[in-house]
Structure 1
Amino acid sequence: MTFTELKLNPTLIKALPDSVVTPSPIQQQVIPEVFNHTDILAFAQTGSGKTYAFALPLLTMIAAETKANNKIHAVIIVPTRELARQINLNLQPLAKSLHIKMASLFGGVDLEQQLQQLAENPTLIIATPGRLLALIKENKLDLSVMRHLVLDEADRLIDMGFWKDLQSIISFMPKSRQTLCFSATLAHELEQKMHSIMQNAQKIQSNNQNSVVDHIDEKLYLVNKGSKTKALLALLKQHANQQVLVFISAKDNADALTKKLIKAGVKASALHGNKDQSTRKQTLTYFKHKKIQVLIATDLLARGIHIDALPMVINYDLPESAPVYIHRVGRTARAGHTGFAISLVCHAEILALEAIRKLTKRTLPLDNLTNFPVTDKPSSGAAKRPVRDKQANRRSAQKRSIKEFKPKYR
């Protein structure tokens, strides 16, 4: 099947990047349904082309619809600023080819700049929930005639606590709108929430839910908790000529690990939510342009972020949420490329590993890492200290003199 057969705007097809030749499976399934104005709940593996699956038909329809007016016709809502920026950059040349104006709205950026974008009467909005809702409540944004709503990384939008914001935003939209929800993973209870804001939604799956791309070679190593930094350095030395995205769960730990890598001579940088927006933008740009070899990131970068031909992802620690593992390793092996994903696992993370195995329905065996023998012992589950005598503690606290601690002889 070709893009022409999918009835996309010919000018739009010509504006596609040279690397995009034929529609991916999810695009072939979704695009006709978007044209049919069907509500869609779509699942597809990371790197499978979900963005174009909703963007190409939307841009085609907007180009035809905007001949009548210049009101906002479509809104794309995403969970993070980084993803909003990326989608905006990817769609800009396509929108420009059809003379469609876009606005990108997210926090950490001067509000006046975004108000200037809105003053130019865009017909397509890409936004994070917080900034979008704030602008609506300030009457800076009119969504009364919008026709298409996209929730990208839908499960993450809900996981991050945006559900109430989403409900508020939707209350300002027409009930007759088309709603498109996309994700690689979605728990049953979250799927029910998605259906509550959609009408007779069609479920589309281009692969099994919660699955990892076949082109990713995964290795999991059991190591001592205190050996992880040295193990990471050893792995980076083995792959010295490759770019590596290292995921870590805590922001403070990301900065501390980055300092250790830099001290060891590794060109590294950290990216997490405590960094200001300009720093986050610059760091990600440097990494995409290969000016940084190793990027230490929290799960801020686990969703949707595309880095061309990224060869390797390393989990310095396992995520507490099993679906996040799928998204983390999905930063490599995108758009048909192959990739390598390594996870450093200590005994304390075995329960997290079991949850990942259960979700993905894969064995994911633990191997030993050369020169890093495991000496830590698994927890027996027993308390390490005897139960404290709380009454004895209270009696001790009430004593005022050393003499009172002397034993009383009878």
Structure 2
Amino acid sequence: MSFSDLNLDSRLLTALPAQCQTPTAVQQQTLPSIMLGQDVLAFAPTGSGKTLAFGLGLLQQLSQQPNAQPAMTTPPSFANEYDDAEELPAFRPSSSRAHMRAVVIVPTRELASQISEVLTPLAKSVSLNVATLCGGVDVAQQAATFDQQPAQIVIATPGRLLDLLRQKLISLKGVQHLVLDEADRLLEMGFWPDVQKLMSAMPALQQQLLFSATLPNELEAQIQELAPHAHRFAVGSQNSVVEGVAQTCYLVNKGSKAQALIALLKAQLSAQQVLVFINARDNADSLSKRLNKAGIQALALHGEKDQTERDNALLAFRNGDIKVLVATDLLARGIDVTALPIVVNLDLPESAPVYVHRVGRTARAGLSGVAISLVSHGEANALAAIRELTGEALPLLALEGFPVTDQPASEARSKRAPRDKKANRRNMNKRTK
């Protein structure tokens, strides 16, 4: 099948990137339903082409009716569940903001920027505009820019979009199409209330598209509430790691992880770019400094960095100016670094689905890649959860030069027990003297 077989606008076909000759499985399955205006819930591995799936579907619909006024429909069922629902701004037809007809909501600024880069040239080919609304930019400046260049498609993080809405700097009354990209993250407790409030401000909403690589069972209720009649599509096994990722887990002492990483980078990975995931922001900075002291060019990227630092670090990594980028899970969702060969988990994530997203930064768009995890005995539960979710065996291997002297938690407790008893007896003797 080719993209032309999907009856896409010829201008979109011409504007497609050169490497996009054949639609991926998720694009083949979902695009016909999306272009018909149907609700869609799609699960597909990271790097499988989800952005173009919903992006081309939206652009096709908007290009066919560029000046159509949205029909007002019944607001979502939860629209009146919040006390501040009446504070949402009134629709101002004379405002340039009335042009907004599709909103793509994402969990991070980096993902918003990436989607904008993919969709902007395609949108221009059919005389449509794309705007990005997310943190790191002054609110007033962002609103002014949006007024100067109205956009039909807005890509936004939920917090910034809600902030602009509450300040009555935008209106969502004309939005007909809503996309939740990385839907599982957006349905988690931190984002879910904001998403509900945003949807309550979209009375003209006609289509909902939810895309993700993973969906924990506990989020099924929210999915049903959001899109009860959505057409479901699944490419591969849900919560699976994309084909082409060679996964290796090394058992190492907790205190040896940084040195083990340095040894791997110098011995096996010296000529390649490596994305290293770590759980704590402070540890990301300290690890980056340690790598640089060891002669390995590295930068840290996490949510405490200002937007300029974040942009510069990601750009330097993409351009090959640095070999190693140490990141928190800020980069685990949707970020595409072209032909990234290696991902390393210095820490296993506490949430098993996050592992799928992390290792999905490599082996994108049909390429192959390597995912290495340095695992300590204390992460046994996290590893068990990852194995259960993905169905992968993930055996623990020995790393040459790094013998394991730490004891499993159960053995450590059993060995401490006698000492604890002796200590208790000593304390009792002291108290009785």
Shorter-chain TM-score: what band?
Answer: over 0.9
TM-score by length of 1: 0.93
Q: Which residue is 2:115 aligned to?
A: 87
In structure 2, what is the Cα distance between the partners aligned to 1:191 and 1:406?
A: 57
Gaps of 5+ in 2: 70-97
Tell me, yes or no, if the aligned pair for 2:175 and 2:205 is still in contact at 8 Å. Answer: no
Q: Secondary structure at the match of 2:211?
A: strand
Q: Secondary structure at the match of 2:325?
A: strand
In structure 2, which of residues 150, 157, 160 is the aligned counterpart of residue 131 of structure 1? 160
Structure 1: which amino acid aligns with 2:237?
A: N
Q: Is 1:102 aligned to residue 130 of structure 2?
A: yes
* Matched ranges for 1:41-52 at <5 A: 41-52=41-52
Structure 2: which amino acid aligns with 1:13?
A: L
Q: Which one is further off, 90-99 or 289-298?
A: 90-99
* Structure 1 residue 289, shift from structure 2 partner: 0.7
Q: Percent identity?
A: 53
Tell me, yes or no, if the aligned pair for 2:177 and 2:205 is still in contact at 8 Å. Answer: no
* Matched ranges for 1:225-304 at <5 A: 225-237=254-266, 238-304=268-334
In structure 2, what is the Cα distance between the partners aligned to 1:7 and 1:127?
A: 29
In structure 1, what is the Cα distance between the partners aligned to 2:395 and 2:99?
A: 54
Q: Is 1:144 aligned to residue 142 of structure 2?
A: no
* Structure 1 residue 107, shift from structure 2 partner: 0.7
Tell me, yes or no, if the aligned pair for 1:34 and 1:54 is still in contact at 8 Å. Answer: yes
In structure 2, what is the Cα distance between the partners aligned to 1:306 and 1:201?
A: 27
In structure 2, which of residues 92, 97, 100 is the aligned counterpart of residue 72 of structure 1? 100
Q: Secondary structure at the match of 2:5?
A: coil
Tell me, yes or no, if the aligned pair for 1:318 and 1:353 is still in contact at 8 Å. Answer: yes
Q: Which residue is 1:401 aligned to?
A: none
Q: Secondary structure at the match of 1:253?
A: helix
In structure 1, which of residues 343, 358, 377 is the aligned counterpart of residue 373 of structure 2? 343
Q: Secondary structure at the match of 1:332?
A: coil
- Any idea what the Cα deviations from partners look like across 1:366-385, whole Å, max 9, x if unmatched? 11111111111111263747
In structure 1, what is the Cα distance between the partners aligned to 2:186 and 2:260?
A: 34
Structure 1: which amino acid aligns with 2:240?
A: S
In structure 1, which of residues 323, 326, 329 is the aligned counterpart of residue 359 of structure 2? 329
Q: Which residue is 1:370 aligned to?
A: 400
* Matched ranges for 1:16-55 at <5 A: 16-55=16-55
In structure 2, what is the Cα distance between the partners aligned to 1:337 and 1:350?
A: 30
Closer/same/farther in 2, CA of residues 301 and 92 from structure 1, 3 Å limit: same
In structure 2, what is the Cα distance between the partners aligned to 1:82 and 1:160?
A: 21
In structure 2, what is the Cα distance between the partners aligned to 1:290 and 1:159?
A: 34
Closer/same/farther in 2, CA of residues 9 and 223 from structure 1, 3 Å limit: same
In structure 1, what is the Cα distance between the partners aligned to 2:248 and 2:205?
A: 48
In structure 1, what is the Cα distance between the partners aligned to 2:105 and 2:407?
A: 46
Q: Is 1:169 aligned to residue 198 of structure 2?
A: yes
In structure 1, what is the Cα distance between the partners aligned to 2:407 and 2:251?
A: 11
Q: Which one is further off, 79-88 or 134-143?
A: 134-143
Gaps of 5+ in 1: 394-404
Structure 2: which amino acid aligns with 1:174?
A: P
Q: Which residue is 1:400 aligned to?
A: none
Tell me, yes or no, if the aligned pair for 1:243 and 1:293 is still in contact at 8 Å. Answer: yes
In structure 2, which of residues 221, 237, 243 is the aligned counterpart of residue 192 of structure 1? 221
Q: Which residue is 2:92 aligned to?
A: none
Q: Which residue is 2:336 aligned to?
A: 306
- Any idea what the Cα deviations from partners look like across 1:315-368, whole Å, max 9, x if unmatched? 001001001001000000000110011000010011110000010112111111
- Any idea what the Cα deviations from partners look like across 1:115-159, whole Å, max 9, x if unmatched? 123202211100000000111112221221211000000111123
Q: Secondary structure at the match of 2:42?
A: strand
What RMSD in Å do the two structures reach over aligned CA positions?
Answer: 1.8
Tell me, yes or no, if the aligned pair for 2:3 and 2:23 is still in contact at 8 Å. Answer: yes
* Structure 1 residue 239, shift from structure 2 partner: 1.2
Tell me, yes or no, if the aligned pair for 1:38 and 1:202 is still in contact at 8 Å. Answer: yes
In structure 1, what is the Cα distance between the partners aligned to 2:293 and 2:382?
A: 31
* Structure 1 residue 96, shift from structure 2 partner: 1.3
Q: Secondary structure at the match of 2:208?
A: strand
Structure 2: which amino acid aligns with 1:28?
A: Q
In structure 2, what is the Cα distance between the partners aligned to 1:281 and 1:113?
A: 19
In structure 2, what is the Cα distance between the partners aligned to 1:304 and 1:160?
A: 20
Tell me, yes or no, if the aligned pair for 1:103 and 1:117 is still in contact at 8 Å. Answer: no
